[in-house]
Amino acid sequence: MPTDHQPESPASLLERYSRQLLFQPIGEQGQLQLLQARVAIVGMGALGTVLANHMVRAGVGFVRLIDRDFVETSNLQRQMLYDESDAAGSEPKAIAAAKRLQQANSLVKLEPVVTDLNPSNAEALLSDVELILDGTDNFAVRFLINDVSLKHNIPWIYGGAVSSRGVSMTIIPGETPCLRCMFGQAPAQGTTETCDTAGVIGPIIHTVASHQATEAFKLLVGARGQLNRKMVHWDLWYNQHAAVDVSKARKSDCPACAQARYEYLEQDLEEDTIQTLCGRNSVQIQPVRSGSFQLAEWAEKWKPLGTVELNPFLLRFQPNDSITMILFPDGRLMVQGTDDPVMAKSLYSRYIGM
């Protein structure tokens, strides 16, 4: 649910943002632009929490927080907006983040959205903002962001971090290479390292996200001449830093930015989306036709069949000691305890129906 601006006097505004106003490249005019800006953050995990913290505290007027997941204890080491109570209550990340951020700056309008970004909702969630920030850990989602960015001429800032390594790149349609120019297509699932398979240390998260946030401020206040036009890499543990010139990396035959073929956005949605969550021993099922599930009713149905825990945002069901099923109001189901899509679909069919 969106949170609304709270009135504040001009004097209070000047005090709240006084140190940012003193920074000449932003100043009063830049602050006014930030107050009017609209930003979407995709993913409220490690990178997303740092990005959201910077955007909200700096006074960006509208911030949409998009995340499909809920807080777990293993998140707390690096996802800085959450605490043990969020994990104990299985609070959706977008909701928990919005509550915490509203306490930091009640002037900002926050819109938490608990959903899986996919081709059916990506344009609705991303096309009405002026900047998209990447807080995901998923290349398929990044290529979907890339398609929306190009189709609607909206800049976005790519970021990724794993282990002690990180990377960031600012993508501006028509000016810079896009993600498909750089990588061609999303790597096959399970072929890249993730935080769940290779681990991650907190400082690389802040390094990457703070770079993304700084680039965001430059874009939002119109300081495009100061943008970093390179792909920046870090390895904090091994003291490595590189900035790769990508100014000539735009491809004349790129299917996305040269040929306007938005293949990730226009994927066929005739079948349910079933995704193995690498390194988490979990499978997510997103029905092609999202519905409105009354979680309390499903809790009553499942009580005789296993252990049930319900909160306003999700229903956790354990039919046995090895499987946990987490149902969301739109019908999305996360099956924990298996990485077998066939088994996950069988469980969905058995307990919900296909």
Buried b or exposed e, range 310-319, using 16+ CB within 10 angstroms? beebbbbbbb
Question: What confidence tens digit (pLDDT) does each residue in 1-22 have?
Answer: 566 555 566 667 778 999 999 9
Question: What confidence tens digit (pLDDT) does each residue in 251-281 have?
Answer: 999 999 999 999 999 876 545 578 777 667 8
In sequence order, the β-bridge partners of residue 163 are 200
Q: Considering Cα of 264, then 269, then 270, then 273, what sign does the dihedral take? A: positive
Give the pLDDT confidence score for residue 278 in this predicted structure.
Answer: 63
Q: Which of the 8 DSSP states describes residue 92?
A: B
The answer to whether the beta carbons of residues 137 and 160 sit under 8 Å apart is: yes
Helix (H, G, I), strand (E, B) or coil at 88: helix
Give the pLDDT confidence score for residue 3 in this predicted structure.
Answer: 61
Question: What confidence tens digit (pLDDT) does each residue in 165-193 have?
Answer: 999 999 999 999 999 999 988 766 555 66
Closest alpha carbon to 326 in 290, 283, 292, 262: 283
Rounded Cα distance between 90 and 313, Å, is 9
Give the pLDDT confidence score for residue 279 in this predicted structure.
Answer: 63
Q: Considering Cα of 11, then 15, then 20, then 25, what sign does the dihedral take? A: positive
The vertex-128 CA angle with 289 and 98, nearest 5°, equals 80
Question: What confidence tens digit (pLDDT) does each residue in 13-62 have?
Answer: 778 999 999 999 999 999 999 999 999 999 999 999 999 999 999 999 99
Q: Record the pTM.
A: 0.84
Q: 292: buried, middle or exposed (CB in 10 Å: 19+, 13-18, 0-12)?
A: exposed
Helix (H) or strand (E) holding 158: strand 156-162
Question: Considering the chain, what percentage of its residues have pLDDT values greater than 90?
Answer: 69
Confidence of residue 289 (pLDDT cuts 50, 70, 90): low
**In angstroms, what CA-CA distances link 81 with 3, 49, 66?**
17, 6, 15
SS3 content of the chain, % helix, strand, coil (to 5): 35, 20, 40
Confidence of residue 339 (pLDDT cuts 50, 70, 90): confident
